[in-house]
Chain A
Amino acid sequence: MQEWIQLLIDGITIGGVYAVIALGYTLVYGVLRMINFAHGELFMMGAFTGYYTLNGFEKHSSLNDSVPVLTIAIAIVLGMVVAVTLALVMERIAYRPLRRAPRLAPLISAIGVSILLRNIMLRATNAQGKVYPKVFPRTAVEIGEIRLLYVQIFLIVLSFVFLGLLYLFIQRTKAGVAIRAVAEDRDTASLMGINVDRTIMTTFAVGAALAGAAGVVYGMFVTTATSGMGFIPGIKAFTAAVLGGIGSVPGAMAGGYFLGISEAISTKFFGAQYKDVVAFVLLVAVLIFRPWGLFGKREDKRA
């Protein structure tokens, strides 16, 4: 029993990360009908920013020991800033010029950006994985055999917080409504006085901020940052977004947790070498029976 609970916790931990990254895919897909395959790399850049920030504090001050809350907060904010900046630059350079091009063009452009970012970091780090300084104590809460690192709790809670904030942002704020409007009908949105370009940039920025922040916290959890670390979570988050119904915000959240938990459980049954198979079988099954995903809406008929 305890092992099952532990597996569930493991699933929620990684599922939250998938969910937060998946939001970026789903938001951008919503407004542009495009999969930003470089999104996972924003997560990776967040993790590196977190490393460089915390390592800088470690080397040049004792702030990591005296006020870890502050240094971690700064690392998260910087991770968001770096990811947002990159996202805006890539939107402007790699995607906007292709907005009227055939759909495949921005997709390929995105894959190019992804490879570029990965290799820039590979060069910048000389292919050396970076190890986070010990800011978060590696201690754990233990209940029987169940063991939860504090940093893991932090990751789980923060994922929830981010998801909640994003949901409020999308539902309640003027910018959020504008994003939903642009997602539904770009022309009509501009007739409302919505600056479509700016709204698309906001969408990229919001998705990137989430990915950047997730990267920092995930980096603290796994204690390393490597140039390739965004790839698999990126693919998984994309899967989660499709699973939940691409374009749907609640779908991306649910898809992330669903995928994380199924992976954890299937590891117990089949071993980790088959967990990706399980993930993709789930995806295919969902797409066969509900092509619009678990939470997505059928494409609405438009006049």
Chain B
Amino acid sequence: MKIGKRALLLAAMLATLTMVLAACSSGTSSKDKTATAGAGGAKTPAAGATTAATKAATGAAGSITVKKGDKIKIGISTTLTTDNAELGIPIRDAALLAIKTKGTIKGFGIEGDPQDDGCAGPASVTAANKLIADGVVAVIGPMCSGGAVAALDPLSGANMLTVSASATNPSVTAQGKKNFFRTAWNDATQGAEMAKYAYTTLGKKNVVLVNDQSTYGKGLMDVFKASFTAAGGKVASEEAVTVGEKDFGPTVTKIKGESPDLVVFGGFIAEGAVLVRQLKDAGVTASFMGADGIADQKYIDQSGGAAEGSYVSRGPKPTDTKLYDAFAAAYKAEYKKDAGQFTEQATDATNIVLAAIEKVATVDGSGNLVIDRQKLIDAVAATSYAGASGQIDFDAKGDRKVVGAVNEIDQVKSGKLTRIQ
């Protein structure tokens, strides 16, 4: 039994260390975060490169060969377990639908290879390595910013075309990885737009920020804070919730004590819906504002009515919704569910990848399909695509070029997200 207790103590100490590190890292700026993740994952690219090399052995270096009769594999790195799967699974479904719709490229079938990236660094690196080992041509994902920052090491090591539909944190593209693009909007824009809207349009001067300790949530709140305080607003306090928890009582009590006129949340649906509900239960009358992580009907449904009136920021929908409506109808026909948040970005990301493959893939003498990885990346960089989420052109960092409206603000009215700006 002595040994048992000692082991227990050791386990507890390790757990503590982990928690401390987690808390510290979420406290650092996104720039530091990038550096840490890069250093931590330093070993993985080598490993990834080795596997990729083995796979590509049949073709020339830096290219991938799909044997005659085989299918073109498209990796999908998204969150399939934990509560965040409620955003992650529709992303996978949208990507799979786009693949199915496309059918074939130059006579080759296409198949999706979805891997669970856990919306976090370690699991996303594992997923990335698995996809590299599986010999995929490109990766749609990773879903979350924290995962993307970490997984980009092995993915760029393998020169793997990677297009995320939902990783919005500025640090993701700030790494300067040439193989990475996103159809999601950079939070540098979103956070600033949210702050502007809150301060100028809504006239809120005293806010409490709450993040879910993810790279995305914390990063978005950092951008908000910078813009909001620069405009003259006051951030009364910055709070955090733990993903997976359902009772935020003490945090809510603390927020109540600050008497803010607005609570801003950076995080996802599961926590957002619970938070808005418990704020209301506690008698907090301040308005609630969230972002693209909760811009989904599920947020409203899960809040049990408490979401009514909350402001939700998201990437701008095109003024012409014809393409979006067509996609949404196809999605509904396939899955009998409404297309949720990020699904239009996911279908666009997949379509861009597929179009690029079609453009650069060549059939060699023995009937195999050869795809040059660099040419594929270059093709995506040159994309100009009118998609369900609007016109997509990439800048040098892989971010979307802003066309027209830079952001959209919705408000929950009668249980529906309704665009108000």
Contact = CB atoms under 8 A, between A and B. Distances in A.
- Within the complex, are A and B direct neighbours (CB within 8 Å)? yes
Interface of A: 3, 6-7, 9-11, 13-14, 17, 33, 118-119, 122, 126-129, 131-132, 134, 138, 140, 142, 145, 147, 149, 218, 221-224, 226-229, 231-232, 239, 242, 246, 263-265, 267-268, 271-277, 280-281, 283-284, 287-288, 291-292, 299
Contact of A127 (B19, B85, B237): B85
B247 A222 contact: yes
B12 A226 contact: no
Interface residues of B, number: 57
Majority-rule SS of B interface residues:
helix
B277 A129 contact: no
A257 B1 CA distance: 27
Contacts of A10: 249-250, 252-253
Contact of B9 (A149, A271, A274, A287): A287
A232 to B, nearest CB: 5
Contact of B246 (A224, A281, A291): A224
Interface string B9-27: 1001101100110010011
- Which residue among B20, B81, B283 has the maximum number of chain A CB atoms within 10 Å of its CB? B81
B304 interface: yes
Q: What 4 A-B pairs come out closest when comparing CB atoms?
A: A10-B249, A273-B240, A267-B250, A127-B85
26 contacts: A3-B256, A10-B252, A127-B83, A127-B86, A127-B89, A129-B273, A134-B304, A147-B283, A218-B246, A222-B246, A222-B278, A223-B277, A226-B246, A228-B81, A228-B82, A228-B83, A232-B245, A246-B8, A264-B249, A268-B254, A271-B237, A272-B240, A283-B15, A284-B9, A287-B5, A287-B9
Q: Which residue of B82, B242, B245 has the most chain A CB atoms within 10 A of its CB atom?
A: B245
Interface in B219-243: 237-242
Contacts of B88: 127
A280 B86 contact: no
Nearest to A223: B304
B250 A264 contact: yes
A122 B116 CA distance: 13
A287 B13 CA distance: 10
A58 B117 CA distance: 37
A266 B9 CA distance: 22
A139 to B, nearest CB: 10
A149 to B, nearest CB: 6
A267 B23 contact: no
B274 interface: yes
B264 interface: no
B395 interface: no
Contacts of A267: 250-251, 253-254
Query: In the complex, which of the residues B83, B240, B283 has the most CB atoms of chain A within 10 Å of its own CB atom?
Result: B83
Contact of A280 (B16, B83, B239): B16
A129 B16 contact: no
A281 B88 CA distance: 34
Nearest to B251: A272
Given A7-B250, A267-B250, A272-B248, A131 B257 contact: no
B282 A147 contact: yes
A188 B6 CA distance: 27
A129 B6 CA distance: 39
B385 to A, nearest CB: 29
Nearest to A155: B247
B378 interface: no
Contacts of B237: 271
B302 interface: yes
A258 B283 CA distance: 27
B83 A273 contact: no
A273 B23 contact: yes
